[in-house]
Amino acid sequence: MIRVQSEDFDLSLEVRKLTEENPAIGAVTAFIGLVRDIAGGTEISSMTLEHYPGMTEKMLREIETEAHQRWNLDASLIIHRYGQLAPGDQIVLVVTCSKHRKAAFESCEFLMDFLKTKAPFWKLEETPEGGKWVDARDGDTKATERWLKS
């Protein structure tokens, strides 16, 4: 399941909705990304996330489909927020559910690695020096590349 929204999300509620109808689920892994107050040694007062509606959801579905093809997942959820967010605000939620923990852990990590490099989101950090667009990080690219080899 994919959602791109400006509203915040509630982890407990989202996990309950994913698992309540499927007692075969034995493992749930969740990742929540938060806005940091410092990036690269620079203070961040806010972050604005932009996306390309339609294209963003399509790419997120493709990434989620790939995870379901690689692992035996019972359910998954990607929620990514957009708009202006403050330090401490939740940005992204990825939840994977499976019968066993290995598939849940690995697929959650896979989804986050691909979200960081393939999902069409743009981040503008507001700093004391003004706005600064966030560039792709080499570490994120390397994390994604390791999945392409497996």
Supply the mean pLDDT for the chain.
Answer: 92
25, 29, 30, 36: CA torsion to nearest 10: 180
With cut-offs at 50, 70 and 90, classify the pLDDT of residue 22.
Answer: very high
Predicted local confidence at residue 54, as pLDDT: 92
Predicted local confidence at residue 140, as pLDDT: 67
Q: What is the pLDDT averaged over residues 132-150?
A: 74
Number of structural domains the chain divides into:
1
pLDDT tens digits, one per residue of 23-35: 999 999 999 999 9
Predicted local confidence at residue 19, as pLDDT: 95
Q: What is the pLDDT averaged over residues 22-47?
A: 92
With cut-offs at 50, 70 and 90, classify the pLDDT of residue 149.
Answer: confident
Structural domain including 10 reads 2-149
pLDDT at 144 over 80: no
pLDDT tens digits, one per residue of 65-123: 999 999 999 999 999 999 999 999 999 999 999 999 999 999 999 999 999 888 889 99
Predicted local confidence at residue 34, as pLDDT: 96
- Residue type at 134? V
Predicted local confidence at residue 150, as pLDDT: 65
With cut-offs at 50, 70 and 90, classify the pLDDT of residue 130.
Answer: confident
What CATH number is attached to the domain comprising 49?
3.90.1170.40
